[in-house]
Amino acid sequence: MVQWKRSTGLWGALLGLSGILLGAWAAHGLENLVASESIESFKTGVWYQQLHALALVVLALATPQAHRLIRWSVRLMLLGWFLFSVSIYALVLAPVWGLNLSFLGPVTPLGGISFMLAWGLMAWYFFKARNV
């Protein structure tokens, strides 16, 4: 259980740290590289990354045990971050890199679905929990 809490908290902290760095870059460095609409998309990826970073840290600190529903929620949040936020970052930066990553377009909504499933499992855990 301790390892689960440690790795969940570490992921949350790393996503939070990198989210701050990416957000600062979006606010102060991307304007010369991509269109303003793309910067807004990038910021959406950062926002979702930060939100779920915080959720991971809270789960690591506050969840009394590594219940299977919470473990799956954490896995789905990490998958959602990768499919949602990282795909947005790649799509925004693809023209800068000279790449055609348009195939990633359908991946982003899968990340959103992963986020929704993660929150749904967490809700189910708290609905069913007796000793929280």
Query: Widest CA span of the chain, in angstroms?
Result: 54
Give the distance from CA 132 to its chain's centroid. Answer: 25
Planar angle of CA 69, 85, 1, nearest 5 degrees: 30
Number of H helices, E strands in the chain: 5, 0
Over residues 69-81, the pLDDT tens digits come to: 999 999 999 999 9
- Binning pLDDT at 50, 70 and 90, where does residue 4 land? confident
Over residues 76-120, the pLDDT tens digits come to: 999 999 999 999 999 999 999 999 999 999 999 999 999 999 999
* Contacts of residue 70, Cβ cutoff 8 Å, sequence gap at least 6: 59, 63, 121, 122, 125
